[in-house]
Amino acid sequence: MLAIYETVNRRLTRADEIEEGTWICLTAPSQEEIREVAATLDIEPADVQAALDPEESARISLEDGYTVIIVDIPLKVDGAAEGVYTTIPLGILLTQTTITTVCSVDTPVLSDFASCRVRGFSTKKKMRFVYQILYRAATMYQQELRLIDRRRQEIEKNLTGTLRDSDLMELHGLESTLVYFATSLRANSTVLDRLTRYKRLEQYPDDMELLDDVIVEIRQAIEMTSIYRDDIKGTRELFSSILDNRLNNAMKYLTSVTLLMAVPTVISGLYGMNVDIDACRFPVLIMDLSSSACLRLLFVGSLPGYCTKNICSDLYCLPHPARRGAFFTFLPVTFGGDSPII
């Protein structure tokens, strides 16, 4: 879409033709509109199309008779969760008489100017217009960063409740957004550094003050991005620790249940053996003692590791005959005599 604006008597109005002091706003333009604007302003169509490439990086280049400025602005991802954003390029082409903006979507960064919601805006003061666009983009970054941190805090409140896979995926989306923001903000900061030395167009004293404000806002947004990335990383690590702790508790419970279920299994297995009862001198006693021995082994095996280690250490320090006697007090099983089973 092609729209032409002009400031007349401090009021923004629509214009029919491209004239001196007009703002040409291209939003998702067609090839015909790109060729028309390029032919009228005597610029390369490729420079106009550059801002429509989502992979185009922020830069500033001085061409013959005009300047190309490309910056990255935030954009809400359609259908994604709250706080998930990406960045898209916004192109600004400056000539001696006009300013042209090119973007693939209708962004609030430009729509606020078209709706006359920006104070001190004039299409005739091109450099101030550029700084105002960059200032709006920087403040928009900060607003989205606050939304991202607010959403992270909401997810973190769910740590005491049921952890859902959607929370982990949303946390990953927030972290990816901050990666995009950090890269774009650093690139925009590089463009601002070059604009401080830009002398091709006339600048007013208030323009340099506005440029300083833009630099401060960009640096603040970069610091906020770094802090929030660390916060999300800590939240993700906390998620992992809680999941590991819950898994350990579940394994302890299952281990206890397994030990309890093993007792009737061992007893039923002993009583289910094919044994010649007539040939056995004490069949009932053997069954009882065997069951008692198994229960004792299970009990000893379930003792805490610290106690087991101390018991084994104490037994090992005894003399050999005493150690054997102390050990076999746990297993007083005999086969018709007084000799222990070794």
Place of tokens 């007090």: 329
Among candidates 18, 19, 22, which has minimal Cα distance to 114? Answer: 22
Number of alpha carbons in the 13 Å side-chain half-sphere of residue 63: 19
Last residue of a domain, one of 231, 246, 261: 246
pLDDT recorded at residue 217: 93
Which segment of 171-185, 238-252, 287-301 scores lowest on mean pLDDT? 287-301
Alpha helices in 201-319 (DSSP H): 205-271, 283-301, 305-317
Last residue of a domain, one of 227, 246, 265: 246
273-286 tens-digit pLDDT: 665 555 555 444 44
Q: What's the CA gap between 303 and 296, in Å, rounded? A: 11
Q: Are residues 219 and 127 in the same domain?
A: yes
28-53 tens-digit pLDDT: 999 999 999 999 999 999 999 999 99
- Answer yes or no: is 219 within a domain: yes
- Answer yes or no: is 269 within a domain: no
Q: Are residues 77 and 160 in the same domain?
A: yes
pTM of the model: 0.71
Q: Which two tokens stand for residue 222?
A: 């970069």
Q: Are residues 125 and 54 in the same domain?
A: yes
Q: Are residues 168 and 58 in the same domain?
A: yes
Last residue of a domain, one of 201, 231, 246: 246
Whether the predicted pLDDT of 12 surpasses 80? yes
- Answer yes or no: is 91 within a domain: yes
pLDDT category at 332 given cuts 50, 70, 90 is: very low
Average pLDDT, the chain: 78
Among candidates 46, 34, 40, 41, which has minimal Cα distance to 70? Answer: 46
- Answer yes or no: is 41 within a domain: yes
Number of alpha carbons in the 13 Å side-chain half-sphere of residue 272: 6
Asked if residue 167 lies in contact with residue 155, where contact means CB atoms within 8 angstroms, the answer is yes
Among candidates 247, 253, 256, 254, which has minimal Cα distance to 302? Answer: 256
CATH number at residue 71: 3.30.460.20
pLDDT recorded at residue 237: 83
Q: What's the CA gap between 320 and 341, in Å, rounded? A: 16
Name the residue range of residue 315's domain. 274-342
- Answer yes or no: is 261 within a domain: no
- Answer yes or no: is 333 within a domain: yes
Give the chain's domain count. 2
Q: Are residues 107 and 199 in the same domain?
A: yes
- Answer yes or no: is 55 within a domain: yes
Q: What's the CA gap between 315 and 247, in Å, rounded? A: 35
Q: Are residues 9 and 148 in the same domain?
A: yes
Task: Give Cβ neighbours of residue 22 (< 8 Å, ≥ 6 apart).
Answer: 4, 5, 6, 15, 98, 123
Q: Which two tokens stand for residue 61?
A: 């280049």
Provide the phi-psi class of 79: left if phi over 0, else alpha when psi is between -120 and 50, else beta: left
Asked if residue 130 lies in contact with residue 196, where contact means CB atoms within 8 angstroms, the answer is no
Q: Are residues 196 and 238 in the same domain?
A: yes
120-173 tens-digit pLDDT: 788 888 888 999 999 999 999 999 999 999 988 888 887 766 767 777 888 888
pLDDT recorded at residue 19: 87
